[in-house]
Amino acid sequence: MSLLDSAIVRLLPAVPKPVVQRFSARYIAGATLAEAVAVVCELNAGGKMATVDVLGEEITREDETRGIAQAYRDVLAAIEKESLDSNVSIKPTALGLGLSYELCRENLLDILGAGNFVRIDMEDSTTTDETLRLYRELREDGHDNLGVVLQARLRRTTDDIAALADLRPSVRICKGIYLEPAAIAFTDPEAIRVNFLACLDALLDAGCYVGVATHDEWLIGESLARVSQRGLGREEYELQMLLGVREERRDELVAEGHRQRVYVPYGEQWYEYSVRRLQENPAMAGTIARATAARLLGRGS
């Protein structure tokens, strides 16, 4: 990424919302459940599984958190009705973690009641302890249809894997999107990759089911080599990617016989998620800069 591009990426929050919306459309299934269902149907028809995310985070009103929980129950009902191969992913702050731990727990229990598998996404490091506490408590209460996410960026993650090992958790391992201070996180991309593989090894050693969530070609190769060295069968791991990212590679991996799950976000609150995706897209910064300049100069939308 050029210096200009990285400056633009930092300035993305200042880019007009319609420009962000235009460029991020590929990452979002749509505003409505019907649109999300259509995307999941198409993915399933192409041999991929899905996990649906109702967009919304850092929610500050209790009634809004209940609204999100209801939206998830609607998603789960649609998955059941249409016999879709999909589970759901939830963000603790969307269910009210920022308001109270108990509220978040109650909302999550509501969603778990439907019986489908629910994965708790991992948000920034201020939420890690409570997210892992929530996971442990619910698993100890017998909710086995629950998985969690761990971030290779964080220095604590190998310790967290050791601490969770008795639960044999289902874990999505990812690099971690939230930029964290060097005191608690690896900041060098190579160090994050190395820790990703160390975490994957630790999870597989602990007998965990792992969702390997990355679009990084080197990491995909190294992860699949580990899976193969351990003689794991097709049902004993999965690869995961985000909607709108590296779709051709995703199809190749499915054709090679790997199970692939696609993260399908939908909903009205598309903005924060979209900015994060655009910030990660190495080719996008310059394009957005040109579109923003054209818009500000009154030449196009």
Q: Please state, in angstroms and rounded to a whole number, the distance separating the CA atoms of residues 207 and 130.
A: 24
Q: Please state, in angstroms and rounded to a whole number, the distance separating the CA atoms of residues 250 and 41.
A: 16
Q: Say whether residue 190 binds ligand FAD (CB under 6 A).
A: no
Residues annotated as part of the active site: 121, 172
Q: Please state, in angstroms and rounded to a whole number, the distance separating the CA atoms of residues 301 and 299.
A: 7
Q: Say whether residue 122 binds ligand FAD (CB under 6 A).
A: yes
Region near ligand FAD per CB under 6 A, out of 30-38, 77-85, 107-115, 279-287: 279-287
CB of 209 to ligand FAD, least distance (A): 15
> Of 146, 102, 98, 143, whose CA–CA distance to 121 is shortest?
146
Q: Say whether residue 191 binds ligand FAD (CB under 6 A).
A: no
Provide CB contacts within 8 A for 125, sequence distance 6+: 154, 178, 180, 184, 185
Determine how many CB atoms are found less than 10 A away from the CB of residue 94. Answer: 28
| Closer of 36 and 242 to ligand FAD (Cβ) | 242
CB of 242 to ligand FAD, least distance (A): 4
Q: Say whether residue 78 binds ligand FAD (CB under 6 A).
A: no
Q: Which helix (H) or strand (E) holds 147?
A: strand 146-151
Q: Binding pattern to ligand FAD, positions 240-259, x when CB under 6 A?
A: xxx--xx-------------
CB 186 within 8 A of CB 158: no
Total of residues contacting ligand FAD (CB under 6 A): 24
Q: Given candidates 177, 191, 194, 254, which one binds ligand FAD under the rule CB under 6 A?
A: 177
Interface with ligand FAD (CB under 6 A)? 121-122, 149, 151, 172, 174-178, 213-216, 240-242, 245-246, 263, 277, 280-282
